[in-house]
Amino acid sequence: MTLAIIGGTGLTQISDLTIIGQKTLDTPFGAPSADYVFGKINGRQLVFLARHGNPHRIPPHKINYRANIWGLKQLGVTEIIAVAAVGGISSAMAPAHIAIPDQLIDYSYGREHTFFADDLEHVTHIDFTEPYSPDLRQRIIQAANDAGIAITANGTYGCTQGPRLETVAEIKRLAQDGCDLVGMTGMPEASLARELEMAYANISVVANWGAGIVAGEITMAEIERNLEIGMNKAIALLKATVLLS
């Protein structure tokens, strides 16, 4: 069992990761976002990938999700924990809070979203009833409990196109659809992992309230301040989860 961590906005590297090597890969789908970094946390080996590149330069709608996931599969990865910065919609999802979503709704468009598109011997469908792998989710939740890290152990992630933030009306629509969180990178990452039969779970770090939840504009200063707090919690949670792997 080989674990990979995909880091999103605010997590281009992990300070406690002892780096033992890195690898540049080319894939049939082009170049991944960055080199794959091999390292150890608490003595456990894992692979780390910066989703937006390192430095952070690739916007959500331009990420080569297929190359990223294909490369992890080629490296022998069987489990992926994806860390993502999100906006909070439901009342429990306050800035700097952490959630482990169990459902998602995909509002993105125009992204290369499947490996099963061309030169097929037969049409291939995947079961996506539970988009996040239950066993991996439960391990993360257990690690949070063991480490005393406050989380919300469920929630629905709404994936929008980006890179702009949403309007007040769009957040209202997401809330009416049942979304608790809004992010820009949750799909097609999750479904691509399922297509290649890798376990996948998400750690969502709330960077800000969604538009209109509280009064005023959303500022980058606010997002960066909340992410600094939230990502420190996420790193502690990752370390605790690795111990259970």
Side chain identity at residue 149, one-letter code: I
27 is annotated as contributing to ligand binding: no
114 is annotated as contributing to ligand binding: no
How far is 143 from 44, CA to CA, in rounded Å? 15
Q: How far is CA 101 from CA 15, 81, 121, 190, in A?
A: 25, 12, 34, 12
The residue among 26, 38, 118 whose CA lies nearest residue 74 is 26
- The H-or-E segment that residue 106 falls in is strand 103-106
2 is annotated as contributing to ligand binding: no
Q: Which residues are annotated as a binding site for substrate?
A: 184
Q: Which residues are annotated as a binding site for phosphate?
A: 9, 51-52, 185
Q: Which residues are annotated as a binding site?
A: 9, 51-52, 184-185
